[in-house]
Amino acid sequence: MASHAYKGTLLNNEPLAKYTSWRVGGPAQRMYIPENKADLIDFVAGLPNGEPVYWIGLGSNLLVRDGGIRGTVINTRNRLKEMRLIDTDRVYVEVGVPCAHVARFCSDLGLTGAEFLAGIPGTMGGALKMNAGAFGGETWQIVDQLEMLNQQGQVLNRNKHEFEVAYRSVKGIDDEWFLAAQLKLAKGDSQVSQLQIKALLEKRNTSQPTNKPTCGSVFKNPAGDHAARLIEACGLKGYRIGGAVVSEKHANFIENQGNATAVDIETLIQHIQTQVQQQFGISLQTEVCRIGDEA
């Protein structure tokens, strides 16, 4: 693929550890950093048929294995970040916008319902892909319309009802990716909304290891319970494999203590699952997305 036809940056064998919040991961065969949405559309249209395509925003909720990724990784960090009011209660958000920015933007406009996004350490693209949630709110509760991109470089508008949405799970049409969303919100009091965001952030900082390299929550909460409670009840807080350790602050977080590999983290994930299964008969499912090849 010739890079001169595009305005963005094409990198070969680019180490992904510096792009993930866990600070682990092997190289991407190719990484493309688009100039803007139009450039991204041109680039995707020019990809070979069947080329594996992966997307990365802030790199949270992502475990890239040590062997890296064969195919193309599209990096939207500091890209695709247009956000604007469409009408009185609708906001257009491109996938590169950090969730925390969406929360504040809506709050400033006196629109309520997006406050929980302040507690999600990723971009809108990742939140759409997994129906990310925090503090009782979920992304797809406020989604109305979607702007999608397919592998041929065509932009399609879809209604939220064309997707199968569940807890931390979204199924759409294969080989279509999120470009932007229209959020439908309620009118409210900007000051009340901002106080709510402040309270959520204080709660997050108190209860989560926000200053450590983590991916956010590792496991989905089982019905009627909390993954963190189960992990803690197994006595696993502080349990370590290599450079990966179960956070002392919140048991559903795994911290990279500086020298962890993806194998350390994945082995620790499996150990936690085994212990919880043995002690409680509950099969913990991962929330984190695992991609790439083993070394």
Positions annotated as catalytic residues are 168, 217, 287
Report the amino acid identity of residue 68.
Answer: G
CB 250 within 8 A of CB 208: yes
Residue 21 identity: S
Please say whether the beta carbons of 78 and 173 come within 8 A: no
Cα 53 from Cα 32, distance rounded (Å): 10
Task: Enumerate the β-bridge partners of residue 137.
Answer: 134
Q: Cite the beta strand spans of the chain per DSSP E.
A: 9-15, 27-33, 53-56, 62-64, 69-75, 83-87, 90-94, 111-112, 133-134, 137-138, 143-150, 155-159, 164-166, 169-171, 176-184, 186-187, 240-241, 244-246, 254-256, 289-291
User: Which tokens in the block code for residue 13?
Assistant: 């064998």
Side chain identity, residue 164: E
Which SS3 state, helix, strand or coil, does residue 198 take?
A: helix
Both tokens of 83, joined, read 């956000």
User: Which residue stretches of the chain are H helix?
Assistant: 37-45, 99-108, 124-130, 190-207, 227-233, 262-280
Cα–Cα distance measured from residue 156 to residue 178, given in angstroms and rounded to the nearest whole number: 10
